[in-house]
Amino acid sequence: MIPAAGENARRIYQDGIGFGNDPHAFSILGDCLSLPVIFLGVFGRGLGQYHLGDYFYLQPAIDQFRPSFSRQSISNGNGFNTAAVLSPLKANPRLCKGSENPMSCEYRVHRPSIAIIALGTDDNTAFPEVFEQRMREIVEFTISSGVVPILATKADNREGNDAFNRIIAKLSYEYGIPMWNFWAAAQPLPLHGLSDDRGHLTGSNPGDFASPASLKKGTTVRSLTALQALDSVWHGVTVP
């Protein structure tokens, strides 16, 4: 479920530091499931707002990336899919240049060293080959920007046959980049962590890792495993 950063990820990271990327910044490319209010935002609010429990070892990663947790990424929004991330029409006109899409604008403005790429739920009407083409474009631009991509699988199967998760795994292997396998983390959960609409996640307390009840909810397990993935990749790319 939790990725390790290999040689290629370390090379991308070092390239990015040379480009001027911020070792304390990460970005999110995602839909409403990744908005700060229900994903990682709580970790930017200070001690006492979240409860790590047995996962106290994640505190250094929270400290390292604290300003990014509660920040609204330009490349993260309601209904965002691969097409939206690549479309200049979806870019914030107050922050972005005319030719920029949300991804390129986010990378220029925030200068992240790592990006969590959690797309696919709102791509459910796209053909798998179209999804793969768009994801490949996103991955290649991210790498060329010196940003280490963490590709995320998803708990839902709205497209059928788990086609998108297989594509995500394929791209992770092909490009030698980390994959956070949230699908695997969600499998033991009641209803696999999914609400009745089979797209959104159960639960509403993403920062309570000390409660056994909370750790049976999709939102909590998603935040926990995302934080573990960020922690693992950060340590992996910064080893001497």
Give the pLDDT score at 240: 73
Alpha carbons 173 and 132: distance in angstroms, whole number: 14
Q: Which of 159, 180, 196 is nearest to 81 (CA)?
A: 159
Residues of the chain above pLDDT 70, percent: 100
CATH number of the domain that 149 lies in?
A: 3.40.50.1110
The reply to whether 62 falls in a domain is: yes
The reply to whether 1 falls in a domain is: no
Q: Is 90 a residue whose pLDDT tops 90? A: yes
> Lowest mean pLDDT: which of 71-75, 103-107, 199-203?
199-203
Alpha carbons 96 and 69: distance in angstroms, whole number: 21
Asked whether the beta carbons of 70 and 41 are under 8 A apart, the reply is yes
Q: What is the DSSP letter of 116?
A: E
Give the pLDDT score at 47: 77
- Total domain count for the chain? 1
The reply to whether 2 falls in a domain is: no
For residue 224, give its domain range. Answer: 7-237
The reply to whether 59 falls in a domain is: yes
The whole model's pTM is what? Answer: 0.96
Per residue in 43-75, pLDDT tens? 998 778 999 999 999 999 999 999 999 999 999
Q: Is 199 a residue whose pLDDT tops 90? A: no
The reply to whether 178 falls in a domain is: yes
